[in-house]
Amino acid sequence: MFRVRRFCRRPLAALAAAVLGLSVLPGAAQEVVRSQQAAFRVEVLTDRLENPWALAFLPDGRMLVTERPGRMRVVEADGTVGAPLAGVPEVYDRGQGGLLDVVLDPDFSSNRLIYFTYAAPVEGGATTRLARARLGETALEDLAVLFTAKTPGSTSRHFGSRLAFGPDGLLYVTVGDRGRDDTAQDLAWHSGKVLRLTRDGAPAPDNPFAGRPGALPEIFTYGNRNPQGLAVTPWGAIWAHEHGPRGGDEVNVISAGSNFGWPLVTHGRAYSGLPIGEGQEKPGTEQPIHVWVPSIAPSGMTFYDGDLFPAWRGDLFLGALALTHLNRLEIEDGRIVGEERLLEAFGWRIRDVRSGPDGMLYLLTDEDDGKLVRLAPAD
């Protein structure tokens, strides 16, 4: 099965590229792609990553990449892929589980600390876990497990999990509902929630449910299905996106104590086609600021803050796993006013997207021969 999956995907990308007159060779600068607001080249830096999940930029120009099967690698700026780092803990590599997101400590330049999430094997199944380590040259050092989510652990789906440091210096962590939608409304579980933690993994002391009997103190928002995108806006708010069921993927503005409704309200339907919950709105729940019907299966999320594409500055970019493309949401005055779908011809399942410190956009594709892709200005 591994070989069939690996070699079936290459011809699709190659066929799309041939139609467009593009090259898909690693390191190749492809023909110019013209979009609504920018012209750019698609540069495949490498295709030697196995199901890469997340990307973080190091101060020296290199990149830290996680691979879902349980490896973490340093990739050079030219796309040269390093050997797997030692010291990565055992992951639950089944279904949607594995090694997930990674971010640098805000003081990384002085302390070399990184934070990452993974699906961890536990008694009865698996759960989402947060760890911290010091990044050495060839290994993770001083590994510490900071937090283990209380979730029902019998399924291999909906782990979340994205990380972001907020303007308050606290760490926001998303946890999926683990395929048990009833737990998303239950404050006794971490599943179906956005959590807010200190750098040591403790609940932030002013979290909205701190001190409430029966509620877990780490919870910041609830009623989330499977959030796989999290980013801080240029004006300091926190936005997240999450997978809907059959339709109903959402972008939400995260605020303390918010209930985003799942599974009581949704803009999607069950996979059987039957309705879910009580409709699309309910008093006491928050409405999304953007919805996709049908689902695009969003993953990864970044606000473009570079100077190389002036027309994109401040716009929101995210990957799409089902309707394979790079999604651009145009932002004006904090509102989504337009949508554009880029790179559809390539057929790539885009798992992560990040705005690089060099002003270019970087993508990871979810494949056995996963790619690290850079969008560079046409000029």
Burial of 10 (0-12, 13-18, 19+ CB in 10 A): middle
d(CA 115, CA 133): 7
Does 311 map to a domain?
A: yes
Residue 18 forms part of a structural domain: no
* Domain annotation covers residue 284: yes
**Predicted local distance difference test score (pLDDT) of residue 3:** 31
At residue 19, the pLDDT reads 42
Chain centroid, CA 46 distance in Å: 20
- Give yes or no for a cis peptide into 275 (omega within 30° of 0): no
Q: What pLDDT shows up at residue 29?
A: 52
Residue at 368 is within a domain: no
Is 313 within 8 Å of 302 (Cβ atoms)?
Answer: no
In this prediction, residue 375 carries a pLDDT of 97
Structure tokens at 224: 């989330």
Q: Smallest Cα–Cα separation from 351: which of 339, 328, 340, 367?
A: 367
What residue has token string 């609504």? 36
pLDDT, residue 28, reads 53
Report if residue 372 sits inside a domain.
no
Q: Of 43, 79, 85, whose CA–CA distance to 62 is shortest?
A: 79
| Active-site residue set | 158
Parallel, antiparallel, or unpaired for β 219-222 and 193-197?
antiparallel
Distance linking the first and last C-alpha atoms of the chain: 42
Range of the domain at 175: 50-320
CATH of the domain at 61: 2.120.10.30
- Note the maximum CA span of the chain: 62
CA distance 247 to 241: 13
Torsional class of 133: left (φ above 0), alpha (ψ -120 to 50), beta (otherwise): beta
d(CA 29, CA 373): 11
Handedness of CA 231, 235, 237, 240 (dihedral sign): negative
Cα angle, residue 229 at apex, residues 224 and 230 outer, rounded to 5°: 90
Which residues of the chain, if any, have pLDDT below 50? Answer: 1-23
In a domain, 21, yes or no: no
| pLDDT score of 154 | 86
Can you tell me the distance from the alpha carbon of 173 to that of 163, in angstroms, rounded to the nearest whole number? 5
Q: What share of the chain is helix, strand, coil (3-state, %, to 5)?
A: 10, 40, 50
Q: Is residue 241 part of a domain?
A: yes
Total domain count, the chain: 1
Query: How many CB atoms are closer than 10 A to CB 55?
Result: 24
Q: What is the pTM of this model?
A: 0.93
Output the six-digit token pair for 199: 């750098």
Report yes or no on 312 lying in a domain: yes
